[in-house]
Amino acid sequence: MNKFTSILVISSVALSFTYCSSGSKISKSSSNAAKGLKDYYKDYFLMGVAITPRNLKGEDSALIVNNFNSVTAENAMKMGPIHPKENEYFWKDADAIADFAKNQGLKMRGHTLCWHSQAPAWMFKDEKGDTVSKEVLLQRLKEHITTVVNRYKDRVYGWDVVNEVIDDRDSVFYRPSIWYKICGEDFIMKAFEYAHAADPKAILFYNDYNTENPKKREKIYQMVKKMKEKGIPIHAVGLQGHWSINNPPREELEKSINMFASLGLPVQVTELDVSVYGGRQGGQLSQGQRRDTTTVFTPEMEEPQREKYKMIFDVFRQHRDKVTGITFWNLYDRYTWLDGRGRKNFPLLFDINRQPKKAYWDVVNFTPEKAPANKQVL
């Protein structure tokens, strides 16, 4: 493939759709060259992306429809944004993403019904401003989950019911969140029961990060195992996958997939990105380090990132019998939540101009193999 045709193919992958802002189905151009990520992995697992209402029109919407067959709302379905006051829901943003998914024939993951972050303050306080009782908080959680899950019953196939309740400190089991302080671990079990009662067909996930850290992984494993033994309706485990150029090592990733699958549960990677900075989570700046937004994506960043993406997707393909979906956290490098950590990051497969990076071609460069008999295709 000479230089000219490669430019032709590259630009067609990103922009092979006539895009429109209305809800109507985005039409595919005739050029078969415009195979997207989801097409390369159609017999392997779902290919998803976390988006905001800003991504639902123009070239962003074409990039989504061309490469992904599943979407997640980055923030719109979280408790605070969707339920800002006790008797008030803000549906507009979540509806826009759910409608887009439905109109474009995309699946949707629901994120997230119960989390310690972006939870509205009113949830935990009574009219006098005092902290509510366990009974009142569980009743409010039930009302929230029942209302939200019922609204998206025909659009959302799976929910991150509970997110990040395991503490990162080896000596602490549960994160001492306000949920835990008021309810103990019961809020976790109840959340799954409420979600299952609201939509018995939905696949219910426990979702967390640093799931390749042996100590944290063991705690998550013990919690999920206990839930299964207690008959709590948990159906899958979400490995967030906020990884970097030097984390995780292959063997720890494989151990995590095998460990959770050994509980009879499928696994998904629900928030994939590969930071170009090693060290602390996603390249967080150290004390006194100056905020830097001028950074450009260099070959020194690109090469180790390509190696990591190649390894990660080789593992996913090898474990396709256990992995049912991969979701990227954000669409292309122009905007990533990691930029909020003080320096510009480039963690995704599409560059700041929505063009596929070399890592993209590494990820789609494989010889498809016939699906194993026990493959769970969603």
Minimal distance, residue 94 CB to ligand G3I, in Å: 13
Minimal distance, residue 240 CB to ligand G3I, in Å: 5
Helices (H), the chain: 3-15, 37-40, 58-67, 79-82, 92-103, 134-151, 178-183, 186-198, 214-229, 250-261, 299-318, 358-364
When the beta carbons of 44 and 209 are compared against ligand G3I, the nearer one is 209
The pair of structure tokens assigned to 14 is 């990103």
Q: Please answer whether residues 27 and 18 qualify as being in contact, where contact means their C-beta atoms are separated by less than 8 angstroms.
A: yes
Residue (of 299, 271, 281) closest to 340 by Cα position: 281
When the beta carbons of 62 and 119 are compared against ligand G3I, the nearer one is 119
Would you call 271 a catalytic residue per the annotation?
yes
Q: Is 273 in the site for ligand G3I (CB under 6 A)?
A: no
Binding mask 318-337 for ligand G3I (x = CB under 6 A): -------------------x
When the beta carbons of 84 and 214 are compared against ligand G3I, the nearer one is 84
Would you call 164 a catalytic residue per the annotation?
yes
Minimal distance, residue 337 CB to ligand G3I, in Å: 3
Q: Please answer whether residues 211 and 217 qualify as being in contact, where contact means their C-beta atoms are separated by less than 8 angstroms.
A: yes
CA distances to 76, 78, 162, 172, 337 from 268, rounded to whole Å, are 21, 19, 15, 26, 20
**What residues contact 269, with CB distance under 8 A and at least 6 apart?**
238, 239, 240, 241, 316, 323, 325, 326, 327
Minimal distance, residue 75 CB to ligand G3I, in Å: 5
- At 11, which amino acid appears? S
Residue, CB closest to ligand G3I: 337
Binding mask 111-130 for ligand G3I (x = CB under 6 A): ------xx------------
Residues between 170 and 229 that touch ligand G3I (CB under 6 A): 209
Judged by CB under 6 A, the residue of 93, 199, 212, 271 near ligand G3I is: 271
Question: How many CB atoms neighbour CB 61 within 10 A?
Answer: 20
Q: Is 75 in the site for ligand G3I (CB under 6 A)?
A: yes
When the beta carbons of 5 and 118 are compared against ligand G3I, the nearer one is 118
Minimal distance, residue 23 CB to ligand G3I, in Å: 23
Judged by CB under 6 A, the residue of 104, 210, 240, 305 near ligand G3I is: 240
* Paired residues of 204 in beta bridges: 159
Q: Which of 164, 185, 254, 303 is catalytic?
A: 164
Minimal distance, residue 219 CB to ligand G3I, in Å: 17
| DSSP per position, 188-234 | HHHHHHHHHHH-TTSEEEEEES-TTSHHHHHHHHHHHHHHHHTT---
Q: Which of 59, 88, 127, 271 is catalytic?
A: 271
Enumerate the active-site residues: 164, 271
Residues that bind ligand G3I (CB under 6 A): 74-75, 117-118, 163, 209, 240, 271, 337
